[in-house]
Structure 1
Amino acid sequence: MGGLNLEVFKFGMYVMFPIGIMYYFGTNLDSRFSVPDFWPRAENANKIPLERDEIDAELQRLRARRLYLRDKRLAEQGGQQQPSEGRE
């Protein structure tokens, strides 16, 4: 293939390849290639608190969670250190 024939072939490929892909896969690509329940629902997603009361409630919740995890971690460390204190 040389010259004009090659150019006609390349032009045909450039035009027909996307058309062929669209014909093969169809028009409802959202239903064919989508993952069901991929995006979280609004009730499961994080909601940024905007009101002052909501912000205070969120800070109290985070503070309580942090203190609970700290107490839990200290209790576990305390349980692990007791046998070593008896050996010394």
Structure 2
Amino acid sequence: MTTPHPIESSPALPTISLANLSNPALREEELLRLRETTHTVGFFYLIDHGIPEELALELFAASSEFFSRSTNEKLAISNTHSRHYRG
């Protein structure tokens, strides 16, 4: 079983382009879209970020595997057990 690409599985979620944010000619318009999206929808897909799709799919698979574990397994590795945890 393969994990569907997240953009294909949620076409209604807005996209924000990192390339547009980096382009002086498109930056202002993309910043307005980003502001509107974060204030109305609250979530978006960031595209043109340069992360290889294969790596992104590996991360989604690892996340899915982790969250399918029992609550006790997840709590056993909670960051609250770390001496570096600051709340």
TM-score, length of structure 2 as denominator length: 0.23
Larger Rg: 1
Judging by fraction of residues, say which structure has more helix: 1
Judging by fraction of residues, say which structure has more strand: 2
- The structure, 1 or 2, with the larger RCO (C-alpha pairs under 8 Å, 6+ apart) is 2
TM-score, length of structure 1 as denominator length: 0.23
